[in-house]
A = this chain, B = another copy of it.
Amino acid sequence: MKDGLLTDRQKEVLRFRKQGMTQQQIADIIHTSKANVCTIEKSAMENIRRAKETLEFLYTLDATHLCTIEAGMDLLDVAPFIYREAENIGIKVKYDTISLINKLREATPERFRARHVRDAIEVYINDEGDLYFG
């Protein structure tokens, strides 16, 4: 049984970075070049991105596509829209308006500009009323 995606090297770098060290400082400590620290850190972030994407796939596997939030929509209109769509297919959404918006902003922070949606967001829902965004 193997560990997670991150190599010992990558974990090491992430820990030092979390403490606020520069790549050069870390390079000195672990006896390698700063370029190498950079690539190690970069591939660590890449691995984290992939881990997230993998679990996203799992979620959408037992979830059905609920609706699409089109670009330009106001953030405050999103929750009512999702509630209506979910009601149409007879599923009760698990989250109240506040949690829903928080969850949405957390899942796709880059897709917002102030109160407006920048790019379309696909919304998935499962039988339990859990929501996933892709």
Mask of A17-52 contacts with B, CB within 8 angstroms, 1/0: 010000000000000000000000000001110111
Which B residues are CB-close (under 8 A) to A57? Answer: 4, 6, 11
Q: Is A98 an interface residue (CB 8 A)?
A: no
What's the number of copies of this chain in the assembled complex? 2
Number of interface residues of A (CB under 8 A): 23
Chain B residue with the shortest CB-CB distance to A52: B55
- Determine if A3 and B61 form an interchain contact, defined as CB atoms under 8 angstroms apart: no
Instruction: Answer whether A56 and B5 are a contact pair too, CB < 8 Å, given A15-B61, A62-B18.
Output: no
> Once bound together, how far apart are the Cα atoms of A3 and B14, in whole Å?
22
> Does A88 lie at the interface of the complex (its beta carbon under 8 Å from any beta carbon of B)?
no
User: Of B18, B46, B55, which one neighbours A61 at CB under 8 angstroms?
Assistant: B18
A-B contacts, 17 listed (Cβ < 8 Å): A4-B51, A4-B53, A4-B56, A4-B57, A5-B50, A5-B51, A5-B53, A5-B54, A6-B54, A15-B61, A47-B54, A48-B55, A50-B51, A51-B51, A51-B52, A51-B55, A52-B55
Q: Are B50 and A2 in contact (CB under 8 A)?
A: yes
Contact residues in B for A11 (Cβ distance below 8 Å): 57
Contact assessment for A54 and B4 in the assembled complex, using a CB-CB cutoff below 8 Å: yes
Assembly CA distance A26 to B62 (angstroms): 18
